[in-house]
Structure 1
């Protein structure tokens, strides 16, 4: 009873506060629901993609695995990159000829297979995936494509946690570690700038030149403005090498005073 007596004078204030923050609370709930739905759809997509590719492809043949991915994407929602981006990615790999590649964001293993099939015999791919299910399925797809564990490493963690631990995984034959000459970012665009800064801080980018590919599945992806501002503010180290719809290649060279074309 006493609670009601105390609450009655406060009702106008409670109503005013609830009205004032109703929009913000509703927006927050909507974002949380959208994130949950994306996560659920992503897990369903990963499972269904894996089941299709695993059962339809020729095991041990990387090209067959990729063709089966493309066949699935023709008729189903897919997290695979578009054919245009896939061809552009192949061109970059052939031009850069990297021996050490970092992939942030695995997405069923499609891009991992594309990268691995173009690396030299002594090349090595390190791929980082936050979701354990996606990491396990992606690793199985890589093995189905015919690659061996000596050619790649899957790290199941956030990119922020993985980057400081990368150096041992870049060591050829347990010798001196090599710097990265190619980095593919296809995870959370809001992490693109912090991760780029972390890679530079850990001195993991090849100082003589490293191509960083940014995949953005939405042209309005949050985080792109920040990384673009960072690149333009440091013309001595960074330049935009090429730009397509949904993919950008930036070039890093320590102390570079010229712009790459």
Structure 2
């Protein structure tokens, strides 16, 4: 009874607050539902893509893996980035000739396989994926393609957590002691700028030159625009090398070579 006696005088305030903030509460609820649906659909997509590629490709054949991914993407909505971006990515990798590559956002393992097949024998790929299921299935696809654990490492964590510990996961190598010469960002665009700054702060970008590839998806371009605005304001270290509809290549250089 005493609870009722205390609550009754507060009813007008409770009603007022509920009325004032109901729009914000409704918006938060919709965002939470959208996030949950996106997560569920993403996992379904990863499972279906993996099952198709795993069952239809020729194991141990890299070209067969990529062709099967492309075949699936023609008829199904897919998280893999597809051959158009893949070919542009190949051109950058061949030009940069990196020995060590960082990939933020593994998805189904499609880009991981594309990257690994162009690295030198001593090259190494570190790929970061937040979702454990995606990381597990993506790693299996890499192994099915014929690559060995000595050639790549999968880190299951947020990009921010991974970057803070990357020094612990990089093996000393006289040829790659300067950090990453190629970084691919295909995760949450809201993290593009924070992660780029973190990579610079941790001295993980090769000072003599590092190409950073930012995948551009029109439905989530706000984070990309913010990143490009920052880069254009930092002309001392950054410049936009190539800007395509679906991918932007940013070049970072701290040491000026003569």
The interval holding the TM-score normalised by the smaller chain is: over 0.9
CA-atom RMSD in angstroms: 2.0
Q: Is the 8 A contact 1:167 1:177 kept in 2?
A: no
Q: Which moved more, 1:246-255 or 1:26-35?
A: 246-255
**Gapped runs of 5+ residues in structure 1?**
none
Distance in 1 (CA, whole Å) between partners of 2:5 and 2:245 is 62
1:24 is aligned to 2:30: no
Distance in 1 (CA, whole Å) between partners of 2:137 and 2:221 is 26
In the other structure, the counterpart of 2:232 is 232
1:150 is aligned to 2:162: no
In the other structure, the counterpart of 1:199 is 199
In the other structure, the counterpart of 1:120 is 120
Q: Secondary structure at the match of 1:125?
A: strand
In the other structure, the counterpart of 1:164 is 164
In the other structure, the counterpart of 1:107 is 107
Distance in 1 (CA, whole Å) between partners of 2:169 and 2:123 is 12
Structure 2 vs 1, CA of residues 219 and 256 (structure 1 numbering), >3 Å: closer, same or farther? farther
Distance in 2 (CA, whole Å) between partners of 1:243 and 1:44 is 32
In the other structure, the counterpart of 2:213 is 213
Instruction: Give the TM-score normalised by the residue count of structure 1.
Output: 0.92
Q: Which moved more, 1:241-250 or 1:96-105?
A: 241-250
Please list, as runs of the form range in 1=range in 2, the aligned pairs for 1:1-261 lying within 5 A after superposition: 1-171=1-171, 177-254=177-254
Distance in 2 (CA, whole Å) between partners of 1:256 and 1:107 is 35
Distance in 1 (CA, whole Å) between partners of 2:175 and 2:255 is 27
Structure 2 vs 1, CA of residues 172 and 151 (structure 1 numbering), >3 Å: closer, same or farther? farther
